[in-house]
Chains A and B, each alone.
Chain A
């Protein structure tokens, strides 16, 4: 491995406050019962800030503020003016993208190269895209007078904090809804900086409200009777609980949940490109990706070649300081997630799969897990069935396209899939048969605001992105 001098991104661009309140009705306020929790840097375990924990009464205040803004300001506002606020927000995100990217890497642990080059450009693009829809809804194919739903409760995960916020808030606001959003408890900071951006944009108070906290806060929010729409991205178990909690109400629900994607490599695939795709599929964002290609299905006659090449490539991955611009793989987001990854990896070894990681020095402090692959995995192994949500790849083999389809679909999930082959007709044949909402052929982990994203089966329902993403926020 080449020696690289450290190339750290400066933290000075971020102005962290010691503590943050809740963002309700356009202002930062203290929580009613004064509870708080700490947000830490997962790469160093350093405390970054004290975050207010919203209780039921705070959620109540936020929902009331959102309702008032919906009734009085945002609902009646012409789409053309809503668009202009969203364009303002998109521009402010671009202008402050360095600050947001550094803060995202500090709070989440993801490499700065990724927050800078992937997350932030996509966040701004998402607001731009939906800004343009705000004054064109009657032309979106949902009938001549599509109406917003009302107040949206939105709960997002910690893997792409600001990007998931954008996926939730941009279409909701474009369609004329107001929102109360709860970020994940380990990654609240960029959502709170986004709240400042809303202030800077002079967004009317109450249109966006941000309540920080953990599971109890999220539950209070989605179960609040004043909410008309619930949108959740996170684990399938929590998604199930939310689906139960909205039963019998008039709340509309969209869910983007877990995945266990197959990344399928045929013997005619260009091996080097496929290996890049495999690495991107599972080690991008430390594998904290719901659509990660966590099951490699490789055709038996090229399995040895692919694995040899994959191991050589993995040995080049740089694991370490998220703020170093050379870093490929950053920190695991939390101690709890690290524990889950360890537990499932240990189960992989215990159940008889063979574990391999490149030689790799991990920092002493913080939460780290070396890129890992398991070979000799069967479909019955836990590491082939359960979402690990970490940099751990399970390798299985197949002989025929039909067997690849069978194995790829043999999961309750259905979020994404990858196909690597030089044969066009085989790509289309496979794509037709894979039960997954996104199919990447000869590429992986590509996202775009115009491209609908979401799952089949137990990966959830509804789509985010594109014209389809509007539907989740309109009464159609």
Chain B
């Protein structure tokens, strides 16, 4: 009996709920695998998919979004061994699952904590509520490849945004595997789109894209690149999250800031009377 020959996996992009190769036909060798090298066109296609998903995802009930995110945590837990096999430390996988569950629970709570009635000086009903900003471009941190990725995706989507994520260029396999988790979690296609490859190629296209509402530069290490991206983002006044500091502790309590930075506050007035 010869030893069984393994079936190897092709690591591809995740756009609109599907796993296409880069339209450019390119790949790069990383973590002993050929991984898709996304082009600017792939980035634009991902924005189209993310925009198309906004209406359904932002319009879903908060309870429904929470259910779907919790389902994703279940799927993530089930693939624990697979992430470990990719070299992700076990405690990082555990922290990533816990983080996902933590954010999932915020879906139907944040509006109460971050919004509410305003006691205006007059006979008016007045209420402020958070709403998603729209399509968010996210540069995931280089590492920790899984916990960092989860920590930037979950807070963006739990409130109803959709994302186009540039995965860690040096450790992209965890990102593609996370895409497989999300694809089997009832998450509507297009809510999360993941690009692998060089961030210098895809992210400038996202920063300059007029149909992207915000950009999270967390994973950008090169300060000149970060400045250039922020300048590009100013063209349509994207909300900007600046790069995380090099010593950022991804295991620490993340607080609300990552969620609230990607929200708009809408205030509605109505007169009271008979």
User: A240 CA to B124 CA in the complex, in Å?
Assistant: 34
A454: B residues at CB distance < 8 A: 265
Q: Is B5 an interface residue (CB 8 A)?
A: no
Q: How far is the CB of A416 from chain B (nearest CB, A)?
A: 9
Beta-carbon nearest neighbor of B59 in chain A: A432
- A240-B234, A255-B237 in contact; A440/B257 too (CB < 8 A)? no
Scoring B residues 109 to 140 as 1 if CB is less than 8 Å from chain A, else 0, what string do you get?
00001100011111010101000010000000
A248: B residues at CB distance < 8 A: 223, 226-227, 230-231
Q: Is the CB of A468 within 8 A of B234?
A: no
Q: Is A476 an interface residue (CB 8 A)?
A: yes
User: A471 CA to B263 CA in the complex, in Å?
Assistant: 13
Q: Is the CB of B255 within 8 A of A143?
A: yes
Q: Is the CB of B237 within 8 A of A243?
A: yes
B271: A residues at CB distance < 8 A: 442-443
A453: B residues at CB distance < 8 A: 267
Beta-carbon nearest neighbor of A430 in chain B: B268
Q: Is the CB of B237 within 8 A of A458?
A: yes
Q: Is B236 an interface residue (CB 8 A)?
A: yes
B239: A residues at CB distance < 8 A: 461
Q: Is B9 an interface residue (CB 8 A)?
A: no
B22: A residues at CB distance < 8 A: none
- A438-B269, A439-B266 in contact; A448/B227 too (CB < 8 A)? no
Q: Is the CB of B270 within 8 A of A427?
A: yes
Q: Is B94 an interface residue (CB 8 A)?
A: no
Q: Is the CB of B269 within 8 A of A446?
A: yes
Q: Is the CB of B268 within 8 A of A448?
A: no
Name the residue in A257, A440, A451 with the highest tally of chain B Cβ atoms < 10 Å from its Cβ: A451
Scoring B residues 234 to 274 as 1 if CB is less than 8 Å from chain A, else 0, what string do you get?
11110110100000000000010100100011111111000
- A248-B227, A458-B237 in contact; A437/B265 too (CB < 8 A)? yes
Interface contact tally, CB-CB below 8 A: 104
Q: Is B213 an interface residue (CB 8 A)?
A: yes
Q: Indicate which residue in A240, A442, A452, A476 contacts B237 across the interface (CB closer than 8 Å).
A: A240
Q: Is A153 an interface residue (CB 8 A)?
A: no
- A240-B234, A451-B126, A460-B237 in contact; A468/B270 too (CB < 8 A)? no
Q: Is the CB of B124 within 8 A of A446?
A: yes
B124: A residues at CB distance < 8 A: 443, 446
Q: Indicate which residue in A451, A456, A476 contacts B120 across the interface (CB closer than 8 Å).
A: A451
B226: A residues at CB distance < 8 A: 248
Q: How far is the CB of A462 from chain B (nearest CB, A)?
A: 9
Q: Is the CB of A437 within 8 A of B237?
A: no
Scoring A residues 234 to 246 as 1 if CB is less than 8 Å from chain B, else 0, what string do you get?
0010011101101
Beta-carbon nearest neighbor of A143 in chain B: B255
Interfacial residues of chain B within 187-223, with CB under 8 A of chain A in the complex: 213, 223
User: A141 CA to B256 CA in the complex, in Å?
Assistant: 10
Name the residue in B227, B230, B234 with the highest tally of chain A Cβ atoms < 10 Å from its Cβ: B234
Beta-carbon nearest neighbor of B239 in chain A: A461
A243: B residues at CB distance < 8 A: 230, 233-234, 237, 240
Q: Is the CB of B128 within 8 A of A451?
A: yes
Q: Is the CB of A236 within 8 A of B270?
A: no
Q: How far is the CB of A410 from chain B (nearest CB, A)?
A: 14
Beta-carbon nearest neighbor of A456 in chain B: B264
- A451-B269, A456-B264, A463-B265 in contact; A446/B231 too (CB < 8 A)? no
Q: How far is the CB of A441 from chain B (nearest CB, A)?
A: 5
Q: Is A431 an interface residue (CB 8 A)?
A: yes
A399: B residues at CB distance < 8 A: none
Q: Is the CB of A244 within 8 A of B231?
A: yes
26 pairs, A vs B, C-beta closer than 8 Å: A141-B114, A143-B255, A239-B237, A240-B234, A241-B234, A244-B234, A247-B233, A247-B234, A438-B268, A442-B271, A443-B124, A443-B270, A443-B271, A446-B269, A448-B121, A448-B122, A451-B267, A451-B269, A452-B118, A452-B265, A452-B267, A457-B236, A457-B237, A458-B237, A461-B237, A466-B118
Interface pairs A-B: 5 shortest CB-CB: A248-B227, A247-B230, A243-B234, A448-B120, A450-B118
Using a CB–CB cutoff of 8 Å, the interface residues on chain A facing chain B are 125, 141, 143, 236, 239-241, 243-244, 246-248, 250, 255, 257, 412, 427, 431, 436-443, 446, 448, 450-454, 456-458, 460-461, 463, 466, 468, 471, 476
